[in-house]
Amino acid sequence: MKDDLPMTAAQQTPADIAEAKKYARETRRLTLLKLAANLIFLSFMAFAGGAWLDTYIEPLTTGNRWLHLAVFALVLMVLQTVLFAPLTFFTQYIHEHRYGLSNQTVGSWLWQQSKMQLLGGGFSLLCVFALYAALWYAPGFWWLVAGLVLLFASVVIGQIFPFLVPLFYKLEPISKKELVESFRRLAAGTGIKIEAVLSLGMSKDTKKANAMLTGLGASKRVMLGDTLLQEFPQDEIEVVFAHELGHSVHKHMLKSIIFSTVSILGGLFLCNLAIQAWYPLGGHTAFDAVSSLTLISFVLAVFGQLTGPVGLAISRHHERQADSFALETTNAPASFKRAFERLAKSNKADGDPPRWWVILFCSHPPIKERLAMAEVWSRSR
């Protein structure tokens, strides 16, 4: 019987499981609180606050509608950031430290947040400009133009992402040549070329382990968290790599882009109908008024929440395919199970969360399901 087998270092003890479940419960509460607060804020701005705020901003922009748009969007972003700062700090800093998952100081956390806000704010501002360029110059089919531009922007961001990583984490080639060679052996015959294998200096911020493959073409860069390299034996790291390789082999990035295209276009089309019908309710002077940005943000946020479970279901399907690929490629179900048990332990993951949470918020299957799948795969061989 499995219960009679000795526990390995990778497995969670009963105390670990209890703490992981407590951490997960609190994380769920914080997530739901932030979601509710965000929707309340956006609905207030869409149907009351946005038009009122604009009466103070418009006179300051000297009739230049692009300057008007930039100032309004920046004020809106700053207002949202400031209002949510206490909840963000509690969620990302206090909550993570309470469970021993973060290594950050207050200063390093603030510095990282500042960089993220600057990058995210700059990208968001460019998206707002693209959105309103379509609204003002192609009002009849602005949603189609804006959707295609935003899709192009997301692909560009995906391409330049590897060059942004060093702004947050130190990247350096790993010293374990035998590990690099094992990766290249696993990738042989897949059409994927391993361009570089890099250590990602995550340990300065977190105790969690992670890995990723970057690049949309056949050439990939492997980024392994130094936490993963330090805590996981080679056979388990190979399983994690094979899982990431499975995503590339199954072209999950391309499929995700296709789904995002449909989702973005559908959301903007419904947004077009909604803002043209609802803009008078919020006191906006026109559906393409600068203040209508608040209404657009609200409609897209609601649409995103309603359609989110579809995207998450697709993501979980992709993860299962990547798990199967990892098992087939490594033929090491025991290493697979230990790797995911160790990931659950290091990340304090709840192995069996409530089903509603999985459906509404989880992009990955629960650890319990992944281990069960590995067990079934092992018995079928």
What's the DSSP call for residue 99? T
Q: How far apart are CA 155 and CA 147, in angstroms?
A: 12
The amino acid present at 213, given as its one-letter code, is L
- DSSP class per residue in 149-168: HHHHHHHHHHHHHHHHGGGT
| pLDDT (0 to 100) of residue 131 | 94
Name the CA dihedral angle for 96, 98, 103, 108, rounded to a multiple of 10 degrees: 70
Residue 289 lies in a domain: yes
Q: What is the pLDDT of residues 153-203, one digit of tens each?
A: 877 877 787 778 888 888 888 888 899 899 999 999 888 888 888 888 988
| pLDDT (0 to 100) of residue 1 | 33
Q: How far apart are CA 325 and CA 192, in angstroms?
A: 14
Q: Which two tokens stand for residue 153?
A: 């922007």
| pLDDT (0 to 100) of residue 198 | 87
Q: How far apart are CA 129 and CA 47, in angstroms?
A: 22
Hey, what long-range contacts does 176-185 have (CB within 8 A, 24 or more apart)?
A: 176/229, 176/234, 178/234, 179/234, 179/237, 179/238, 182/234, 182/238, 183/222, 183/238, 183/241
| Percentage above 90 pLDDT, the chain | 67
Residue 183 lies in a domain: no
Residue 188 lies in a domain: no
Residue 82 pLDDT exceeds 60: yes
Number of domains in the chain: 1
| pLDDT (0 to 100) of residue 340 | 93
Identify the CA nearest to 262 among candidates 140, 147, 132: 147
Residue 374 pLDDT exceeds 50: yes
Range(s) of the domain holding residue 23: 15-169+249-379
Q: Place 3 in a pLDDT band, splitting at 50, 70 and 90.
A: very low
Residue 264 pLDDT exceeds 50: yes
| pLDDT (0 to 100) of residue 355 | 96
| pLDDT (0 to 100) of residue 258 | 87
Identify the CA nearest to 193 among candidates 248, 147, 140: 248
What is the residue-averaged pLDDT of the chain?
90
Q: What is the pLDDT of residues 103-136, one digit of tens each?
A: 999 999 999 999 999 999 998 999 999 999 999 9
Overall average pLDDT of the 49-75 stretch: 94
Q: What is the pLDDT of residues 289-343, one digit of tens each?
A: 999 999 999 999 999 999 999 999 999 999 999 999 999 999 999 999 999 999 9
| pLDDT (0 to 100) of residue 8 | 67
